[in-house]
Amino acid sequence: MIKLGVLISGSGTNLQAIFDSIEKKTLDAEVAVVISNKAEAVGLERAKKAAVPTHFVDHKKFADRASFDSAVVDVLRDHKVDWVVLAGFMRIVTPMLLDSFPNRVVNIHPSLLPAFPGAHAHRDAIAYGVKISGCTVHLVDAGTDTGPILAQAVVPVSEGDDEASLAQKVLYVEHQLLPRVLQQAAEGRISVEPGKDGERARVRIRA
């Protein structure tokens, strides 16, 4: 059993997928705390319904990203979190947070990285004209959507797809993939091999 701290900014459907997987006993974890940088995030309501402690940490009240992250780390530590999950958290995290949870910060991104990083993945994928897209669960490093890849899932992009319909299809696979990866974390199967000679660090998931 691992303790998760889930960081959100919005609807929290991935958070809900985590709750549902815990309920179904396919994920051996406890959500120790949910933190949002948006007071109105619907995900906070989902957490309250699941009787999970919530914290609103307003990024606008902090002088810089590192001091915001430091406040977030305090909350995560108070709740004895083992793994941090960025689930629709629309802030760039700093080494302040990453160094507090080394190789224990996971993000879900709605594209097949390294294609289409950043905040407009679906718009960019449609504009490019790709025929497949999907989602990526990865460890977070100091870059934006650049960390070692843990898992990916694919969806076809159809002729008639727009940003909204693609987002919906991708969310469906996100909700399967994220809890599955977190279960691998719970089973202690994830390790990171540092990149040699300037190569990327890689994740190993033991069978």
Active site residues: 109
Q: Are 106 and 150 in contact (CB under 8 A)?
A: yes
DSSP state for residue 41 in the 8-state scheme: -
What is the per-residue binding string for ligand GRF in 172-201, x denoting contact by CB under 6 A?
A: --x---------------------------
Task: For residue 139, give every residue at least 6 positions away whose Cβ sits within 8 Å of its Cβ, in sequence order, or none.
Answer: 103, 105, 106, 107, 147, 148, 150, 192, 203
DSSP state for residue 27 in the 8-state scheme: S
* 12 contacts ligand GRF (rule: CB under 6 A): yes
Question: What is the rounded distance in angstroms from the CA atom of residue 46 to the CA atom of residue 149?
Answer: 28
Nearer to ligand GRF, 67 or 130 (CB): 130
Per-residue CA distances from 160 to 63, 71, 107, 121 (Å): 44, 44, 29, 17
Nearer to ligand GRF, 67 or 115 (CB): 115
How many of the chain's residues bind ligand GRF (CB under 6 A)?
15
Residues 17-46 that bind ligand GRF (CB under 6 A): 43
- Closest distance to ligand GRF from the beta carbon of 153 (Å): 11
- Closest distance to ligand GRF from the beta carbon of 26 (Å): 18
Out of 4, 52, 125, 171, point to the residue binding ligand GRF (CB under 6 A): 171
With tokens 């279960």, the residue in question is 183
Nearer to ligand GRF, 12 or 148 (CB): 12
Question: What is the rounded distance in angstroms from the CA atom of residue 36 to the CA atom of residue 121?
Answer: 21
SS3 state at 89: coil
Burial class (CB in 10 A: 0-12, 13-18, 19+), 151: middle
Out of 5, 6, 14, 34, point to the residue binding ligand GRF (CB under 6 A): 14
- Least Cα distance to 180 among 17, 3, 60 occurs for 17
- Closest distance to ligand GRF from the beta carbon of 90 (Å): 7
Residues 65-124 that bind ligand GRF (CB under 6 A): 87-88, 108-110
Out of 10, 62, 67, 163, point to the residue binding ligand GRF (CB under 6 A): 10
What is the per-residue binding string for ligand GRF in 121-140, x denoting contact by CB under 6 A?
A: --------------x-----
Q: Which residues bind ligand GRF (CB under 6 A)?
A: 8, 10-14, 43, 87-88, 108-110, 135, 171, 174
